[in-house]
Amino acid sequence: MKSCRLCNQSFISNWSSKDAKSGESLQMALCGACGLVQQTQLPTDEELRIYYSHHYREDYKATHKPKLKYVARAGNAAKDRLAFIERAGIQSAGRQLLDIGAGGGEFCYLASRAGFEVGGIEPHQGYSEFARDEYGVDIQTCGIADLQARQADVVTLFHVIEHMARPTEAVRKIWSVLVEDGHLVIEVPNIHQADASPHNIYFKAHLFYYSRFSLMAAVSQFFELICVEDEGNLFMAFRKRAQPLSQMILPTQAQIKMTADRLSRKGWVEYLTVGGGLKKPFKRLTKIGQELLIGRARPRVVLDQVWESSRNYKPAYLMLVVGLGYFAWTW
Ligand SMILES: [Zn+2]
Protein backbone atom coordinates (compact mmCIF):
# COMPACT_ATOMS: atom_id res chain seq x y z
CA MET A 1 0.00 0.00 0.00
CA LYS A 2 1.17 3.52 -0.84
CA SER A 3 1.92 6.05 1.88
CA CYS A 4 1.75 9.84 2.18
CA ARG A 5 3.93 11.82 -0.24
CA LEU A 6 4.59 14.46 2.42
CA CYS A 7 5.21 12.57 5.68
CA ASN A 8 5.44 8.89 4.62
CA GLN A 9 2.77 7.74 7.08
CA SER A 10 -0.19 5.60 6.09
CA PHE A 11 -3.56 6.90 4.97
CA ILE A 12 -6.65 6.90 7.17
CA SER A 13 -9.03 6.90 4.25
CA ASN A 14 -8.85 6.12 0.55
CA TRP A 15 -11.59 6.78 -1.92
CA SER A 16 -12.16 6.67 -5.61
CA SER A 17 -13.22 9.89 -7.25
CA LYS A 18 -13.57 11.35 -10.72
CA ASP A 19 -11.62 14.19 -12.24
CA ALA A 20 -14.19 17.03 -12.11
CA LYS A 21 -12.97 18.38 -15.45
CA SER A 22 -12.27 15.27 -17.54
CA GLY A 23 -14.40 12.61 -15.82
CA GLU A 24 -11.42 10.23 -15.59
CA SER A 25 -10.96 8.14 -12.48
CA LEU A 26 -8.84 9.65 -9.70
CA GLN A 27 -7.66 7.81 -6.56
CA MET A 28 -7.65 10.09 -3.51
CA ALA A 29 -6.57 9.66 0.12
CA LEU A 30 -6.36 11.49 3.44
CA CYS A 31 -3.16 11.10 5.46
CA GLY A 32 -3.70 10.15 9.10
CA ALA A 33 -0.52 11.86 10.32
CA CYS A 34 -0.23 15.20 8.46
CA GLY A 35 -3.84 15.58 7.28
CA LEU A 36 -2.90 16.14 3.64
CA VAL A 37 -5.55 15.23 1.04
CA GLN A 38 -3.79 13.85 -2.02
CA GLN A 39 -3.90 11.86 -5.22
CA THR A 40 -2.33 8.46 -4.62
CA GLN A 41 -1.12 7.83 -8.18
CA LEU A 42 1.01 10.82 -9.01
CA PRO A 43 2.39 11.44 -12.50
CA THR A 44 6.17 11.01 -12.91
CA ASP A 45 8.49 14.03 -12.66
CA GLU A 46 9.04 13.94 -16.43
CA GLU A 47 5.31 13.84 -17.17
CA LEU A 48 4.79 16.84 -14.90
CA ARG A 49 7.68 18.75 -16.47
CA ILE A 50 6.26 18.31 -19.99
CA TYR A 51 2.76 19.13 -18.83
CA TYR A 52 3.69 22.43 -17.16
CA SER A 53 6.11 23.59 -19.84
CA HIS A 54 3.68 23.00 -22.70
CA HIS A 55 0.12 21.98 -21.91
CA TYR A 56 -1.14 23.27 -18.59
CA ARG A 57 -2.14 26.79 -19.64
CA GLU A 58 -3.72 25.56 -22.87
CA ASP A 59 -5.78 22.98 -20.97
CA TYR A 60 -7.25 25.53 -18.62
CA LYS A 61 -7.31 28.79 -20.57
CA ALA A 62 -7.23 27.50 -24.17
CA THR A 63 -4.37 29.84 -25.04
CA HIS A 64 -0.58 30.08 -25.45
CA LYS A 65 -0.54 33.51 -23.82
CA PRO A 66 -3.00 35.21 -21.50
CA LYS A 67 -6.03 37.02 -22.91
CA LEU A 68 -6.74 40.53 -21.67
CA LYS A 69 -9.58 39.44 -19.42
CA TYR A 70 -7.21 37.02 -17.67
CA VAL A 71 -4.66 39.81 -17.37
CA ALA A 72 -7.29 41.94 -15.59
CA ARG A 73 -8.31 39.04 -13.32
CA ALA A 74 -4.69 38.26 -12.53
CA GLY A 75 -4.10 41.96 -11.84
CA ASN A 76 -6.93 42.03 -9.27
CA ALA A 77 -5.64 38.82 -7.68
CA ALA A 78 -2.14 40.34 -7.56
CA LYS A 79 -3.50 43.39 -5.74
CA ASP A 80 -5.15 41.15 -3.13
CA ARG A 81 -1.88 39.24 -2.71
CA LEU A 82 0.13 42.43 -2.24
CA ALA A 83 -2.43 43.62 0.32
CA PHE A 84 -1.97 40.35 2.26
CA ILE A 85 1.82 40.75 2.15
CA GLU A 86 1.41 44.23 3.61
CA ARG A 87 -0.97 42.99 6.34
CA ALA A 88 1.57 40.29 7.21
CA GLY A 89 4.03 43.12 7.98
CA ILE A 90 6.45 42.25 5.15
CA GLN A 91 8.27 45.35 3.86
CA SER A 92 8.48 45.92 0.10
CA ALA A 93 10.72 48.92 -0.55
CA GLY A 94 13.88 47.83 -2.32
CA ARG A 95 13.60 44.17 -1.25
CA GLN A 96 14.19 41.26 -3.61
CA LEU A 97 11.10 39.18 -4.34
CA LEU A 98 11.14 35.89 -6.26
CA ASP A 99 7.78 34.69 -7.62
CA ILE A 100 7.73 30.94 -8.35
CA GLY A 101 5.20 29.93 -11.01
CA ALA A 102 4.93 33.53 -12.21
CA GLY A 103 2.45 32.75 -15.03
CA GLY A 104 1.95 35.77 -17.31
CA GLY A 105 3.96 38.02 -14.97
CA GLU A 106 1.06 40.17 -13.70
CA PHE A 107 1.99 39.74 -10.04
CA CYS A 108 5.67 40.45 -10.77
CA TYR A 109 4.80 43.65 -12.60
CA LEU A 110 2.49 44.96 -9.86
CA ALA A 111 4.91 43.86 -7.12
CA SER A 112 7.53 46.05 -8.80
CA ARG A 113 5.03 48.92 -8.75
CA ALA A 114 4.64 48.23 -5.01
CA GLY A 115 8.38 48.77 -4.54
CA PHE A 116 9.88 45.24 -4.69
CA GLU A 117 12.87 44.35 -6.85
CA VAL A 118 11.25 41.47 -8.70
CA GLY A 119 12.29 38.26 -10.42
CA GLY A 120 10.34 35.13 -11.23
CA ILE A 121 10.40 31.66 -12.74
CA GLU A 122 7.71 30.08 -14.90
CA PRO A 123 7.97 26.74 -16.74
CA HIS A 124 5.55 27.66 -19.54
CA GLN A 125 7.36 28.96 -22.62
CA GLY A 126 4.55 31.18 -23.98
CA TYR A 127 3.56 32.77 -20.67
CA SER A 128 7.12 33.51 -19.55
CA GLU A 129 7.94 35.11 -22.93
CA PHE A 130 4.78 37.16 -22.73
CA ALA A 131 5.77 38.40 -19.25
CA ARG A 132 9.23 39.45 -20.44
CA ASP A 133 7.96 41.15 -23.62
CA GLU A 134 4.93 42.93 -22.19
CA TYR A 135 6.14 44.00 -18.77
CA GLY A 136 9.92 43.80 -19.04
CA VAL A 137 10.04 41.66 -15.90
CA ASP A 138 12.95 39.31 -15.20
CA ILE A 139 11.37 35.86 -15.55
CA GLN A 140 13.38 32.69 -16.25
CA THR A 141 11.65 29.92 -18.20
CA CYS A 142 12.13 26.97 -15.82
CA GLY A 143 10.70 25.00 -12.93
CA ILE A 144 11.93 25.09 -9.35
CA ALA A 145 14.28 22.13 -9.86
CA ASP A 146 16.26 24.22 -12.40
CA LEU A 147 16.19 27.46 -10.44
CA GLN A 148 19.63 29.08 -10.59
CA ALA A 149 21.09 30.16 -7.28
CA ARG A 150 19.80 33.63 -6.50
CA GLN A 151 19.13 35.37 -3.24
CA ALA A 152 15.73 36.67 -2.26
CA ASP A 153 14.21 38.48 0.72
CA VAL A 154 10.73 37.18 -0.11
CA VAL A 155 9.59 34.11 -2.11
CA THR A 156 5.98 33.85 -3.26
CA LEU A 157 4.05 30.74 -4.35
CA PHE A 158 0.55 31.58 -5.55
CA HIS A 159 -1.54 28.54 -6.48
CA VAL A 160 1.65 26.59 -7.14
CA ILE A 161 2.45 24.26 -4.22
CA GLU A 162 -0.68 22.13 -4.84
CA HIS A 163 0.86 21.29 -8.24
CA MET A 164 4.26 20.30 -6.81
CA ALA A 165 4.81 16.55 -6.53
CA ARG A 166 7.71 16.99 -4.08
CA PRO A 167 6.65 19.77 -1.73
CA THR A 168 9.37 19.13 0.86
CA GLU A 169 12.16 19.37 -1.73
CA ALA A 170 10.64 22.58 -3.08
CA VAL A 171 10.39 24.10 0.40
CA ARG A 172 13.99 23.10 1.18
CA LYS A 173 15.16 24.81 -2.02
CA ILE A 174 13.21 27.98 -1.17
CA TRP A 175 14.78 27.98 2.32
CA SER A 176 18.21 27.86 0.67
CA VAL A 177 17.62 30.88 -1.62
CA LEU A 178 16.15 33.10 1.11
CA VAL A 179 18.28 35.49 3.14
CA GLU A 180 18.36 35.21 6.93
CA ASP A 181 14.87 36.06 8.32
CA GLY A 182 13.51 35.96 4.74
CA HIS A 183 9.81 35.37 4.12
CA LEU A 184 7.77 32.80 2.25
CA VAL A 185 4.21 33.71 1.19
CA ILE A 186 1.82 30.99 -0.04
CA GLU A 187 -1.71 31.07 -1.42
CA VAL A 188 -3.58 27.82 -2.17
CA PRO A 189 -7.19 26.69 -2.56
CA ASN A 190 -8.48 25.86 0.91
CA ILE A 191 -9.86 22.32 1.40
CA HIS A 192 -11.73 23.59 4.48
CA GLN A 193 -13.73 26.16 2.49
CA ALA A 194 -17.27 25.43 1.37
CA ASP A 195 -17.11 27.74 -1.65
CA ALA A 196 -15.29 25.36 -4.02
CA SER A 197 -17.78 24.14 -6.61
CA PRO A 198 -17.96 20.35 -7.00
CA HIS A 199 -17.08 21.19 -10.62
CA ASN A 200 -13.66 22.21 -9.37
CA ILE A 201 -12.82 19.44 -6.96
CA TYR A 202 -11.05 17.05 -7.43
CA PHE A 203 -8.96 17.26 -10.57
CA LYS A 204 -5.72 15.91 -11.94
CA ALA A 205 -3.63 19.10 -11.97
CA HIS A 206 -4.07 19.51 -8.22
CA LEU A 207 -1.98 16.72 -6.75
CA PHE A 208 -2.62 17.90 -3.18
CA TYR A 209 -5.43 19.71 -1.34
CA TYR A 210 -4.17 21.71 1.63
CA SER A 211 -5.72 23.02 4.83
CA ARG A 212 -3.98 25.52 7.11
CA PHE A 213 -2.88 22.54 9.24
CA SER A 214 -1.36 20.43 6.49
CA LEU A 215 0.29 23.42 4.80
CA MET A 216 1.82 24.40 8.11
CA ALA A 217 3.15 20.83 8.47
CA ALA A 218 4.50 20.89 4.89
CA VAL A 219 6.78 23.87 5.56
CA SER A 220 7.31 23.40 9.32
CA GLN A 221 10.84 22.02 9.15
CA PHE A 222 12.08 25.15 7.42
CA PHE A 223 9.67 27.96 8.29
CA GLU A 224 7.60 29.35 11.15
CA LEU A 225 4.19 30.92 10.70
CA ILE A 226 3.75 34.68 11.02
CA CYS A 227 0.30 35.30 9.49
CA VAL A 228 -2.65 33.26 8.24
CA GLU A 229 -5.98 34.17 6.63
CA ASP A 230 -8.34 31.40 5.57
CA GLU A 231 -11.71 33.02 4.93
CA GLY A 232 -11.56 32.15 1.22
CA ASN A 233 -8.40 30.86 -0.37
CA LEU A 234 -5.75 30.04 2.18
CA PHE A 235 -3.08 32.75 2.60
CA MET A 236 -0.10 32.03 4.84
CA ALA A 237 3.11 33.97 5.47
CA PHE A 238 6.18 32.41 7.09
CA ARG A 239 9.61 33.42 8.35
CA LYS A 240 12.70 31.35 7.57
CA ARG A 241 14.11 29.31 10.46
CA ALA A 242 17.81 29.90 11.13
CA GLN A 243 18.33 26.10 11.11
CA PRO A 244 15.92 23.48 9.72
CA LEU A 245 14.28 21.18 12.26
CA SER A 246 15.09 17.47 12.01
CA GLN A 247 11.39 16.54 11.64
CA MET A 248 8.20 18.21 10.51
CA ILE A 249 5.68 19.39 13.11
CA LEU A 250 2.50 17.40 12.60
CA PRO A 251 -1.06 18.66 13.21
CA THR A 252 -3.06 17.32 16.18
CA GLN A 253 -5.49 14.43 15.68
CA ALA A 254 -8.36 16.88 16.38
CA GLN A 255 -7.19 19.05 13.46
CA ILE A 256 -6.99 16.04 11.15
CA LYS A 257 -10.49 15.05 12.22
CA MET A 258 -11.67 18.54 11.21
CA THR A 259 -10.41 17.85 7.68
CA ALA A 260 -12.06 14.40 7.63
CA ASP A 261 -15.35 15.97 8.73
CA ARG A 262 -15.08 18.70 6.09
CA LEU A 263 -14.53 16.10 3.36
CA SER A 264 -17.63 14.18 4.37
CA ARG A 265 -19.76 17.34 4.04
CA LYS A 266 -18.42 18.46 0.66
CA GLY A 267 -20.83 18.31 -2.26
CA TRP A 268 -23.57 20.21 -4.06
CA VAL A 269 -25.82 20.70 -1.01
CA GLU A 270 -23.09 22.38 0.99
CA TYR A 271 -21.82 24.38 -1.99
CA LEU A 272 -25.25 25.81 -2.89
CA THR A 273 -26.20 26.67 0.70
CA VAL A 274 -23.32 27.72 2.94
CA GLY A 275 -20.82 27.83 0.08
CA GLY A 276 -22.58 30.74 -1.66
CA GLY A 277 -22.95 28.78 -4.91
CA LEU A 278 -26.33 30.38 -5.67
CA LYS A 279 -24.73 33.83 -5.86
CA LYS A 280 -22.03 32.74 -8.29
CA PRO A 281 -23.99 33.38 -11.56
CA PHE A 282 -24.58 37.01 -10.45
CA LYS A 283 -20.94 37.49 -9.54
CA ARG A 284 -20.00 36.06 -12.89
CA LEU A 285 -22.29 38.50 -14.68
CA THR A 286 -20.71 41.46 -12.88
CA LYS A 287 -17.29 40.20 -13.85
CA ILE A 288 -18.29 39.84 -17.50
CA GLY A 289 -19.61 43.41 -17.41
CA GLN A 290 -16.38 44.74 -15.95
CA GLU A 291 -14.34 42.81 -18.48
CA LEU A 292 -16.35 44.26 -21.37
CA LEU A 293 -15.02 47.67 -20.37
CA ILE A 294 -11.40 46.56 -20.79
CA GLY A 295 -11.44 47.18 -24.54
CA ARG A 296 -8.25 46.64 -26.50
CA ALA A 297 -5.62 48.27 -24.32
CA ARG A 298 -2.08 46.89 -23.98
CA PRO A 299 -1.75 44.42 -21.07
CA ARG A 300 0.54 46.84 -19.21
CA VAL A 301 -2.11 49.59 -19.47
CA VAL A 302 -4.76 47.18 -18.14
CA LEU A 303 -2.57 46.37 -15.12
CA ASP A 304 -1.82 50.04 -14.51
CA GLN A 305 -5.56 50.72 -14.48
CA VAL A 306 -6.15 47.85 -12.05
CA TRP A 307 -3.36 49.15 -9.82
CA GLU A 308 -4.66 52.70 -9.78
CA SER A 309 -8.37 51.85 -9.45
CA SER A 310 -10.21 51.51 -6.18
CA ARG A 311 -11.72 48.04 -5.71
CA ASN A 312 -14.84 49.60 -4.15
CA TYR A 313 -17.04 50.03 -7.20
CA LYS A 314 -19.75 52.64 -6.73
CA PRO A 315 -23.37 51.37 -6.99
CA ALA A 316 -24.16 53.33 -10.19
CA TYR A 317 -21.07 51.96 -11.87
CA LEU A 318 -21.98 48.47 -10.70
CA MET A 319 -25.48 48.84 -12.19
CA LEU A 320 -23.94 49.88 -15.49
CA VAL A 321 -21.59 46.91 -15.67
CA VAL A 322 -24.30 44.46 -14.60
CA GLY A 323 -26.54 45.89 -17.35
CA LEU A 324 -23.80 45.56 -19.91
CA GLY A 325 -23.03 42.08 -18.65
CA TYR A 326 -26.65 41.04 -18.99
CA PHE A 327 -26.77 42.48 -22.50
CA ALA A 328 -23.65 40.53 -23.49
CA TRP A 329 -24.98 37.35 -21.85
CA THR A 330 -28.28 37.40 -23.76
CA TRP A 331 -26.87 38.67 -27.07
ZN1 LIG B 1 1.10 12.75 5.58
Going from the Cα of 60 to the center of ligand 1, the distance in angstroms, rounded, reads 29
* 10 Cα: distance to centroid of ligand 1 (angstroms): 7
What digits encode the pLDDT tens for the residues 246-275? 999 999 999 999 999 988 877 666 666 666
- CATH classification number, 38-272, choose in 3.30.230.70, 3.30.1330.60, 3.30.1490.20, 3.40.50.150: 3.40.50.150
Residue ranges in 44-197 assigned as alpha helix (H)? 45-50, 56-61, 68-87, 106-113, 125-135, 167-177
Domain ranges of the chain: 38-272, 281-330
Separation of 70 CA from ligand 1 center, angstroms? 35
Helix axes 253-265, 212-219, angle to 10 degrees: 130
Task: Identify the weakest region by mean pLDDT among 101-105, 152-156, 229-233.
Answer: 229-233
pLDDT value of residue 17 = 84
Task: Tell me the CA–centroid distance for residue 204 and ligand 1, in Å.
Answer: 19
pLDDT category at 167 given cuts 50, 70, 90 is very high
Residue 289 CA to ligand 1 center (angstroms) comes to 44
The tens digit of pLDDT for each residue in 99-146 reads 999 999 999 999 999 999 999 999 999 999 999 999 999 999 999 988
What backbone phi and psi angles, to 5 degrees, belong to 96?
A: -80, 125
CA 214 to ligand 1 center in whole angstroms: 8
